[in-house]
Structure 1
Amino acid sequence: MMKSIRGRLVIVTVALTIFAVALVVKLFFIQVISADYYQSLAERQQVASQELSPRRGEVYVHDGDSTITVATTRSGWLLYADARKIEDAEETYGRLSMELNKVLLHIDKERFFAIAQKRDDPFEILIPRIEDDVAAEMDVKEIPGIGLLSREWRYYPLGEFASHVIGFFGFGSDGKEAGQYGIERFYDNELQGKRGIQEGIASSGGTFLNIGKSIFLPPREGDDITLTIEYEVQQMLERAMDDVVQKFSPETAGGVIIDPKTGKILAMAARSNFNPNAYAGADIASFLNPLVSSIYELGSIFKPLTVAAALDAGVVTPETEYVDYGFIEIDGAKISNYDGKARGRTNIQGVLNESLNTGAVFVGQQIGKEKFLDYFERYGFDTKTDIDLPFETVGDISNLETNRDIEYAAASFGQGIAVTPIEFVRAASALANGGYLVTPHIIEGAEEDLRPPKQILSAEASHTISRMLTTVVDKALLGGGQGPEHYSVAAKTGTAQVANIGARGYSGRFLHSFFGYAPSFDPEFLIFLFTQDPKGVQYASHSLGPAFLDLTSSLLYYYEVPPDR
């Protein structure tokens, strides 16, 4: 028996000795041979990283010698619910409502109960934006399942002001926050900056500890941007658009005020518009900027472009005469003047004064189809302007590729071809600035990145058409003599039929357009206005003429332009 016990003890002792030796060897291997490896592994298990979000850049507009902020970032809080911790929804809602009533906030009871029933949902936003001072008045810490979380959001201090230019920052179709529409989208990369990163030692709970080795790459804050928009000028244009909408209830309306010499957009507005602070409740159709993204047949405001091309080509002068019979037949189609009346022998100045379709056709015929197409391509109606706004589309002058006489006849007075308003503004600027095609732009300081102006008309043609359009204002617009005293103003109206959608021919609706500039021979600004399907008014001279004249007088005063008469 004793021998058996001693034998077992020997076996156990040997086993323990072997285990001890193995343990020593293992520890030696870990602590000495593989020390670097396990130290690195331990550090990697403690290292944590987090992204550092940059602050989005500010957006400004001019206000005289200073600027006004139109897009900024605010800090505050969001109120959220963790449904996993809500045991009694009725009691929780009651306690929460008491706190919200203190600061005049409210949560729909039905919505709250729907959220509370999502038992596995740790995070549902109840109120997305609460200002710091408001949050300070609330005490929700003791309400189970309710919490406040700090956050930042984009804020637009002037609300609907220039909303089609500015756009908004919000959630896209991919569920991610980014610039949507306007310059918020076009300059999203510049505004958003670049994320930074912080790596370092973290506690078991994930808290960064200010010890040991760390890596810190700071974020690059977003660039601030100053628009070419001038606050007072934008306000003038928006008031004018609101007045047109109130009086005539159109389907849409819009306007652009540009410096025709440089291409700087001084104001741009469209109706309907939207509040970027509450974009979630807006009609998505109102987000698109019709001045850049929609094409229209603009009608008789094309007649000065046709006449300017003929002047440049040397085929007519203001005194060139033709016989007006009130209508003309081409390719089996009848083209009439707006009133169907004949004027007999009249000159090209008379064509513009009385907006004669037959006269525009005559002028186009003197140019010839090949040169006519060349001039319309010079005006840029088959190319984008490259304005720094998103979703720009290009005009459609493809009807001229058919080489049919009727298409060229219609195009001479702005029918059968469709362009964006900003394309027209670019072309019209060449009439005002000595014949140069400029690039419209919305960001201050962008000039060095723009294409250099290209001369498409002679200075003489530009001067002559300006003189002819000045005569239109002096003698014909609203009976003549309605322009501001002691100033020359060049302008032309347009009233166009609106094409049927999805079918040939034209509807019974009309589009009114108007453009002009002042002073006529050294313009500070060019104004373009349009409205589609205005009610209770027949001609653009009556729907848009008063708005144009009021804007012109206000701008001459605002820019302190000395009289030229």
Structure 2
Amino acid sequence: MGESKLQVRKRILILFLIVVFVMLGIILRLAWIQIFNNELYQSKALNQRLRKLKVEPRRGIIYDKNGEELAISGSSQTVVAVPAEIEDPSKVADKLTLILDMERSEIYKKITKSAYAVYLERKISEKKAAQIKSLDLSGITFTEETKRFYPKGDLAAHILGFAGIDNQGLNGIELAYDQVLRGEPGRIMIEKDATGRMMPRGVEQYLDPTDGNNLYLTIDHVVQYIAERELEKALRGNEAEGGTIIVMNPQTGGVLALANRPTYNPNHFAKYSPGRWRNSAISDSYEPGSTFKIVTMSAALEEGVVNLEDQFFDPGYIKVEGERIKCWKNGGHGKQTFAEVVANSCNPGFVQIGQRVGKEDFYQYVKAFGFGQKTDINLPGEADGLVYDYDDIGPVELATMSFGHGISVTPMQLITAVSAVASDGVLLNPRLVDRIENEEGEVIKDFKSKEIRKVVSEETAKTTRDLLEGVVTDGSGEKAQVKGYRIGGKTGTAKHYGVQSYDSSFIGMLPIDNPQLVVLVVMKGVSSYPYYGSQVAAPLFHDVVKDTVRYLGIPPTEREEVRDREQEDSKEVEVPNLINYSFAEGQSKLRQLGLNSKFEGSGDQIADQIPKPGAMIRKGSTVIFFSDDALDHRSRYDITVPNLEGESLKEARSLLSELELKLEGEGKGTITSQQPKPGTRIESGDTIKVKLN
């Protein structure tokens, strides 16, 4: 019996100890929760009772350069359902499906959710909101949100882009500057019980949203309208896949207009295929054709391998590594000065110019002008373009690149590069945004013109502009002329591979003495005739510029009369023998004769020269010196032999003299044969032997 009582006591003691340990654990846990971690659990309890509602900020306004609204945010009604307050969900779903763009099953699922409140359809029209309000449905209410609106419809659509249902930027400027435009959301916090009812004397708090900042673009909405109007008219008059027009101020890099076709309305962007959203001015590459010759001529002038009086001969083709590159003119242009090569847009002439520049220097200029890399205009989807890797450039690739084939550029790259010629050789970063302001109108950030690099000298840029003026007054760009304005520019036509379709383009600048505008016109995939840049793009340039200069108030500048060359400049001088002289000595002697010089190679002693000693050339011409390690460069300056058959000795001698070649032959009558044959490439100063009948 005593033993049994002892066991009972032991069991009671064990049970007591267990209860003590459990109670101690509970006490310690309560102490941990209420003393050591009371702030954490108090916060969790409060969060369970608080309903946090997001208050949308108003997205910033996008203005053009003159303060015209291009993108704004307006109020819009969003339909909200409170499931606990809906008495007959089935009947409510039946009524709402007749108004909302939703399936009945989807509406029913939302209004029967186990949630305090759910969105049914956001940012509906005023008409729909009025229809729903007239039904007076219990549990169906509205909340006000902001909706992005583009008051000018499809104007500048590819620049502006669009914003989504949550006011987030999805394309264009709206996406690129989303963080600037979006602002910071506010909060409404209300304390409610477990059933969702507001608690008496419960917590209520309202945090104001911070509205987004406003953007001022460099775009002028009137110039943009002119560009889009004329592009639309041109597409109606030509069979083409689309087109692009860009208008830029070359002194600042500011884009005044950027128009693409086909286009879309950003107010209803979802109704268009994503291809319509694509900004082809920055995203699509194309072969620039002859418009790229501006880069070739600038490089050649800067390197001193050509001057205005240099003579070239075009028999209608040129052979490079066995490849026959044709001129657009049957039979070729014959004898031409460098200025005439530019005005005639002669491909064989530009091949010879590119050969003179050489692979290494030409590649450096292509890169310096910004090709093969983004312009950093800060728009989504910009392409790099396509340029050969240096090691992949052979004689044929160099030849085709010199007249704009075998290279792909974006319209924005091309107009940025040509604007460097218009701004005295300075390459500027293109820009679309002028400044950022807050709600109070205070400037947060001002976007100044940004110089990237100096690509050519001021003198080279001026000479290039003068040559481009000749293209408009006397060459293929004649239809781009606007009365009273000196304009320089270049046409371009490039065929699509495998199909009868062309890209026709023209790029021009004005006034030529101090350019204020550079305008690029590209008509893509032209399949109707005529398709040449001179017939399709140049007239479109004229139509855009004619109204733009009037609107901007750019005064007309009458073309200066071409001054006659002084008698001294028209004289010919004999090239002295400067082989074995130092470069400095040779340069000094040529300067005394009114001649220019260029030295190729790394040595200092002249091992050879072009033209040869004894050749007669005009003052102002350039003599090329070569050191021992650059003698293989002489072939760059080879001259194409003209066809002399049927010419008299006097006529032939005059022609060859201008090409810096010699003539050997005697007799009367006309030339019946010659050696070397026409089209052969020979060195300057070489002799052509002829026979007469």
Task: Pick the TM interval, shorter chain.
Answer: 0.7 to 0.9
Structure 1 pair 432–205 and aligned structure 2 pair: CA distance change class (3 A): farther
1:251 and 1:259 map into 2 onto residues whose CA distance is 28
Select which of 471, 484, 487 maps to 2:485.
487
2:548 and 2:346 map into 1 onto residues whose CA distance is 30
Return the offset for 1:485: 2.2
* CA offset digits 1:233-259 (Å, max 9, x no partner): 000000111112211231121111000
Return the offset for 1:332: 2.7
1:481 and 1:56 map into 2 onto residues whose CA distance is 45
Q: What does 1:345-494 align with in structure 2 at a 5 Å threshold?
A: 345-398=335-388, 400-445=390-435, 448=447, 451-477=450-476, 480=478, 483-494=481-492
Select which of 505, 508, 516 maps to 1:516.
508
- Does residue 542 of structure 2 align to residue 549 of structure 1? yes
1:272 and 1:239 map into 2 onto residues whose CA distance is 12
* CA offset digits 1:416-451 (Å, max 9, x no partner): 011111111111001111001000000013765664
Select which of 532, 557, 560 maps to 1:564.
557
What secondary structure is seen at the aligned counterpart in 1 of 2:492? strand
1:210 and 1:545 map into 2 onto residues whose CA distance is 76
Letter of the 1:486 counterpart: G
Select which of 44, 62, 65 maps to 1:62.
65
Q: What does 1:114-263 align with in structure 2 at a 5 Å threshold?
A: 114-115=105-106, 118=109, 122=113, 128-131=122-125, 135-136=129-130, 139-143=133-137, 148-170=142-164, 178-197=168-187, 201-202=191-192, 218-263=208-253
2:462 and 2:269 map into 1 onto residues whose CA distance is 46
Return the offset for 1:399: 5.1
- Does residue 73 of structure 2 align to residue 73 of structure 1? yes
What secondary structure is seen at the aligned counterpart in 2 of 1:237? helix
Q: Which structure ranks higher in relative contact order (CA pairs < 8 Å, sequence separation ≥ 6)?
A: 1
Letter of the 1:558 counterpart: Y
Gaps of 5+ in 2: 1-25, 436-444, 559-693
Structure 1 pair 439–210 and aligned structure 2 pair: CA distance change class (3 A): farther
* Contact 1:55/1:221 (<8 A) preserved: yes
Structure 1 pair 525–39 and aligned structure 2 pair: CA distance change class (3 A): closer
Q: Which has the larger radius of gyration?
A: 2
The worse-fitting range, judged by mean Cα deviation, of 507-516 and 191-200 is 191-200
Return the offset for 1:203: 5.5
Return the offset for 1:490: 0.7
Structure 1 pair 113–379 and aligned structure 2 pair: CA distance change class (3 A): same
1:344 and 1:320 map into 2 onto residues whose CA distance is 14
Structure 1 pair 225–39 and aligned structure 2 pair: CA distance change class (3 A): closer
Letter of the 1:53 counterpart: E
Structure 1 pair 116–126 and aligned structure 2 pair: CA distance change class (3 A): closer
Letter of the 1:164 counterpart: H
What secondary structure is seen at the aligned counterpart in 1 of 2:246? strand
Letter of the 2:459 counterpart: E
The worse-fitting range, judged by mean Cα deviation, of 230-239 and 339-348 is 339-348
* Contact 1:83/1:118 (<8 A) preserved: no
What secondary structure is seen at the aligned counterpart in 2 of 1:542? helix
Return the offset for 1:285: 0.8
The alignment of Structure 1 onto Structure 2 pairs a total of residues equal to: 515
* Contact 1:400/1:407 (<8 A) preserved: no
* Contact 1:83/1:116 (<8 A) preserved: no
What secondary structure is seen at the aligned counterpart in 1 of 2:258? strand
Structure 1 pair 562–80 and aligned structure 2 pair: CA distance change class (3 A): same
1:124 and 1:539 map into 2 onto residues whose CA distance is 60
Correspondence for 1:321? 311
TM-score for both structures, normalised by structure 1: 0.82
* Contact 1:475/1:481 (<8 A) preserved: no
Structure 1 pair 210–519 and aligned structure 2 pair: CA distance change class (3 A): farther
What secondary structure is seen at the aligned counterpart in 1 of 2:211? coil
What secondary structure is seen at the aligned counterpart in 2 of 1:444? strand
The worse-fitting range, judged by mean Cα deviation, of 435-444 and 532-541 is 532-541
Return the offset for 1:90: 8.4
Alignment RMSD: 3.5
Return the offset for 1:133: 7.6
* Percent identical residues: 28
* Contact 1:199/1:214 (<8 A) preserved: yes
* Contact 2:78/2:144 (<8 A) preserved: yes
Gaps of 5+ in 1: 1-25, 98-105, 500-505
What secondary structure is seen at the aligned counterpart in 2 of 1:257? strand
Structure 1 pair 364–95 and aligned structure 2 pair: CA distance change class (3 A): closer
What secondary structure is seen at the aligned counterpart in 2 of 1:508? coil
Return the offset for 1:320: 1.4
TM-score for both structures, normalised by structure 2: 0.67
